[in-house]
């Protein structure tokens, strides 16, 4: 299975490009930012843990990102 990772700074158009690519190739997208926002907003146990990092402006550790 081919996987594509789009990285860049905030506001660089990652999400926009992901939408265009996903539509063109009829493939799903996964956004870690959206996963974080959903879990933090729903106050899930992992979302509360992630919020501690996000509130400090820190990166969420890989083990927590993978668990989400």
Best CA proximity match to 15, nearest among 37, 39, 40: 37
Q: How far apart are CA 18 and CA 50, in angstroms?
A: 24
- Whether 21 maps to a domain, the answer reads no
Residue-averaged pLDDT of the chain: 93
Q: Which domain, by its residues, includes 63?
A: 32-68
- Whether 46 maps to a domain, the answer reads yes
- Mean pLDDT for the stretch of residues 41-65: 95
* Token digits of residue 56: 């400090």
- Whether 50 maps to a domain, the answer reads yes
- Whether 23 maps to a domain, the answer reads no
- The per-residue pLDDT for range 6-37, each reduced to its tens digit, is 999 888 999 999 999 999 999 999 988 899 99
How many domains does the structure of the chain reveal?
Answer: 1
């Amino acid at each position: 299975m081919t996987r594509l990772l789009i990285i860049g700074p905030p506001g660089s158009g990652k999400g926009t490009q992901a939408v265009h690519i996903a539509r063109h190739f009829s493939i799903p997208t996964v956004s870690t930012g959206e996963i974080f926002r959903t879990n933090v907003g729903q106050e899930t146990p992992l979302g509360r843990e992630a919020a501690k990092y996000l509130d400090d402006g820190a990166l969420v550790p890989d083990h927590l990102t993978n668990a989400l």
